[in-house]
Amino acid sequence: MMRPETEAALAECVRGARGPLCITGGGTRQALGNPVTGEALSVAGLSGITLYDPGALTLVAQAGTPLAEVEEALAAEGQMLPFEPMDHRAVLGTSGAPTVGGMVACNVSGPRRIQAGACRDSLIGIRFVNGAGAVIRNGGRVMKNVTGYDLVKLLAGSHGTLGVLTEVAFKVLPRPETCLALRIGGLDDAGAVAAMTVALGSPCEANGLVHLSGPAETWIRLEGFADALKVRAGKLAALLKTRCGVSAEIVEAGPARAAFEGFRDLAWAAGRPGDLWRLSVRPSDGPALAARLRAAGAGEIVFDWGGGLLWALAPEGTDLRPALAGPGHATLLRAGPETRRALGAFQPEAPAIAAISKALRARFDPRGILNPGRMG
């Protein structure tokens, strides 16, 4: 394994590569996407927060910096990464320390994504090494920047196929003083999505909306200053009563926080057999999709993002994509290499888009050595 300690050394590794490279950080998300074989190139040696300006809400870190280190530094200043990145370790059965580079390469977000945006929305600057070994900088460390093309977005979620990230810069936000949740029991999928839709359509700023279809539990999280939060929760509970006829129980900060950490990391699916699918649709299409997924063999289904994100456990090798039947996309989050190879981890792209993606890869990685095949 190559493990350079500097950006220049990393660029040298890429320039000198004679075959495919398999890019790794902490190794916790290697199982995402299509399987890749190649010589391992680790960015873990590029580690450390290079700039943190709490008054400007910006943080810059080398790509191999453990995410935990960044989160600790932010917490010490009462700040956070707004998109609440999920930890894939439990559900993928991996170990090691998730890095900020891996998180960006996979565009990893959590429940707060519905209100605060995805990882890519908080990412404001990058440095990366392209497939020719050139160091490229894009964006910067200020949150408003329209100077040239936004390659920052293009690289977020590109799974290392357009360049090896060496440094990432984020817009961060103040960490809310506290949180609480409303818990509603006994709703079916349609009823739960209706309740979550009412919450998202109200000015209450709900920022975590999850429905577990198995135990029929619906959770709505609110965050803010403690005094204002109580009032807001009361208003939302009353609104849900009037509009949906449901009664909500208020869950205090400690258990609410624990519950959402579990939802974020898919604790319910950890260690259970079967393939795990991630499907994104309009929230109003969620309940009908869930019914079709069950008909296609899916077992447990959990809704996030107010009903627009569905997680489904299915027997190994079952293709759930035909159940989509409308706008949306499905990703195979967890499956064996054979299934990922056979079904493809990502939603197939329309031919015109696939041609653009292929041409971009050819430009950024002319020798086709960066995680080849990871995204098709």
Partner 1 sequence: MDMPIPDASILTRKPQIVARLEAVLPPGAVISDPMETRAYECDGLTAYRCQPLAAVLPASTAEVAAVLRICHEEGVPVVPRGSGTSLAGGAMPTADSVILGVARLNAVLETSYDDRYIRVQTGRTNLSVTGAVEADGFFYAPDPSSQLACAIAGNIGMNSGGAHCLKYGVTTNNLLGVTLVLMDGSVVELGGAHLDAAGYDLLGVVCGSEGQLGVVTEATLRILPKPEGARPIMLGFDSNEVAGACVADIIRAGVLPVAIEFMDRPCIRACEAFVHAGYPDVEALLIVEVEGSEEEIASQLARIRAIAERHAPSELRESASAEQSALIWKGRKAAFGAMGQINDYMCLDGTIPVSALPMVLRRIEEMSAQYGLKVANVFHAGDGNMHPLILFDANQPGDLEKCEALGADILCLCVEVGGCLTGEHGVGVEKRDLMSVQFSPDDLSAQMDVKDVFDPGWLLNPAKVFPLAASETRRAGRAS
Of 246, 307, 251, whose CA–CA distance to 279 is shortest? 307
Q: Which parts of 254-283 interact with partner 1 (CB under 8 A)?
A: 280-283
Q: Which residues does 231 contact at the CB level (< 8 Å), separation at least 6?
A: none
Q: Is 12 in the site for partner 1 (CB under 8 A)?
A: no
Q: Which parts of 41-70 interact with partner 1 (CB under 8 A)?
A: 53-58
Q: Is 151 in the site for partner 1 (CB under 8 A)?
A: yes
Q: Which parts of 170-199 interact with partner 1 (CB under 8 A)?
A: 173-177, 197
Q: Which parts of 218-257 interact with partner 1 (CB under 8 A)?
A: 224-225, 227-228, 231-232, 235
Q: Which two tokens stand for residue 223?
A: 């965050």
Q: Is 371 in the site for partner 1 (CB under 8 A)?
A: no
Q: Which two tokens stand for residue 7?
A: 């950006």
Among 16, 18, 144, 245, binds partner 1 (CB under 8 A): 144
Query: Which of 190/291 has CB closer to partner 1?
Result: 190
CB of 73 to partner 1, least distance (A): 14
> Which one of the spans 20-28, 144-152, 212-220, 267-275 is the region binding partner 1 (CB under 8 A)?
144-152
Rounded distance between C-alpha atoms, residue 165 and residue 160, angstroms: 7
3-state DSSP: the chain helix, strand, coil percent, rounded to 5?
A: 35, 25, 40
Q: Is 350 in the site for partner 1 (CB under 8 A)?
A: yes
Q: Is 34 in the site for partner 1 (CB under 8 A)?
A: no
Q: CA of 61: how far to CAs of 87, 135, 203, 368, in Å?
A: 19, 16, 35, 27
Of 30, 9, 37, 147, whose CA–CA distance to 369 is shortest? 37
Q: Is 152 in the site for partner 1 (CB under 8 A)?
A: yes
Q: Which residues does 234 contact at the CB level (< 8 Å), separation at least 6?
A: none
Query: Which of 40/242 has CB closer to partner 1?
Result: 242
